[in-house]
Amino acid sequence: MSENKKFAPYSAFCRLDRDARECLVARDLMFFLDSNGVKAQVGDCAKVLRFFDSDEDGILSYADFIQMVLPCDNNELRAEC
């Protein structure tokens, strides 16, 4: 995704954050996947969220989201995004 020049991480975050809370919960991930034809259970989405939730508050902040969608092994590409 991040190699796509048109990829805008904050726009992607806002698309998932349909209630404009500036954070994501498991249901946000589930609804996004479902709207794109991927059937997922809220429990599975909660597991993904917990893995990337750096402060363990039960929500995914934008900073956590960045850790999830940008490659950790390519600092130049991270900076470009």
Q: Look at residue 2 and tell me whether its pLDDT is greater than 70.
A: no
pLDDT for 13: 94
Closest CA to 68 of 81, 27, 43, 19: 81
Q: 1 lies in a domain?
A: no
Q: 45 lies in a domain?
A: yes
Region 72-81 average pLDDT: 54
Q: 77 lies in a domain?
A: no
- C-alpha 65/C-alpha 67 separation (Å) is 5
**In the block, residue with structure tokens 């726009």:** 11
Give the pLDDT band of residue 23 (cuts 50, 70, 90).
Answer: very high
Region 24-41 average pLDDT: 94
Instruction: Give this prediction's pTM.
Output: 0.76
Domain of 46, in residue numbers? 9-68
Question: Which CATH number covers residue 32?
Answer: 1.10.238.10
The percent of residues above 90 in pLDDT, for the chain, comes to 65
Total domains in the chain come to 1
Q: 48 lies in a domain?
A: yes
pLDDT for 3: 55
